[in-house]
Amino acid sequence: MNERPDLKSDGFTYVAGRHVPGIERLVELSEEHQLALEVDSVKLVKQLTGVTSAFVYGATFRDHSQTSWASRGPVAVIHSDMSPAGATYMKNSAQNLFLKSTDPSEVGFGKYLETGQDVIMLNVWRPIHAVEDNHLGICKWGSLLEEDALKSNIIPTHVGNTLQPWKYREGQEWYYLKNQQPHEVYVFLQHDDRAKEDGHGINVPHASFKLQGHDKPSTRVSFEAKIIALIDPSPPEGRISRLSNHMTAFANRFSWDELELLELHGRPGSP
């Protein structure tokens, strides 16, 4: 990929150099490690978008060797985390979570959510060790067609049925980071209240996949934080201008040469 992925238009981006102490030699995730990863994830979202108020509403430690709900393996099905109905459900769930918190700042955030202010919801994903198999592939938002999103009549009742399923189609542009390192972090949009068309906006499809010839059991270990952020009031020059300028200035500090286009045989869901 020659151009840099743009969070605002492509729906995802990648940042290198996000070192969190103790993570790269991590054997077992502790509460202290998880907190450090969550704090860094929130900080990164604020830096990339310019928002001032953002919180983690969910986090997942993925380890293919574990079978518990708290530590799940990679997901090989093409999906985004929320359908339009799923986004409404998750916003309400996050609101209730924060309102019941013992942290005054989270309670205050929950009260803001009660007023119906616009939010964006993003995922921050990073490997715990260098990725050798089951890479995370992400689809460029502009390469999708409306009919690529599979329709569903499911009424969301829990986090497991809020997902938006997608189908693969020739012409979609999928990307992954070759040999992704723990300090190399994906950030990708899953919901944007400001979307005029459907009130849901960019929700980029993603999936775990195996490269051709990689048939051994997965060894990938990763961490994902789900972030919800309040959209700050528009500055005099306009919200979009400010956000674009901020992200461009921040992104220019990093190298994007390692982002590679998926070959057809390596698309998500292939054997």
The percentage of the chain sitting over the pLDDT mark of 70, rounded to a whole number, equals 76
Distance (Å) of CA 130 to CA 88, 163, 219: 35, 27, 10
pLDDT in tens, 125-156: 999 989 988 899 999 999 999 999 999 889 99
Cα gap 202→121, rounded to integer Å: 10
Q: Give the strand pairing for 174-177 and 259-261.
A: antiparallel
Q: ∠ CA(222), CA(226), CA(228), 5° rounding? A: 160
Q: Are the beta carbons of 120 and 189 closer than 8 angstroms?
A: yes
Beta-carbon contacts of 244 under 8 Å, excluding residues fewer than 6 positions away, are 8
Cα gap 50→29, rounded to integer Å: 30
- The tokens describing 118, both together, are 């616009």
Q: Give the strand pairing for 174-177 and 206-209.
A: unpaired
pLDDT in tens, 5-39: 999 999 999 999 999 987 766 666 778 889 999 99
Q: What is the pTM of this model?
A: 0.83
- The tokens describing 28, both together, are 């077992």
Beta-carbon contacts of 60 under 8 Å, excluding residues fewer than 6 positions away, are 72, 223, 224
User: Stretch 250-268: mean pLDDT, rounded?
Assistant: 41
Q: For the chain, which residues make up each domain, given as ranges?
A: 12-266
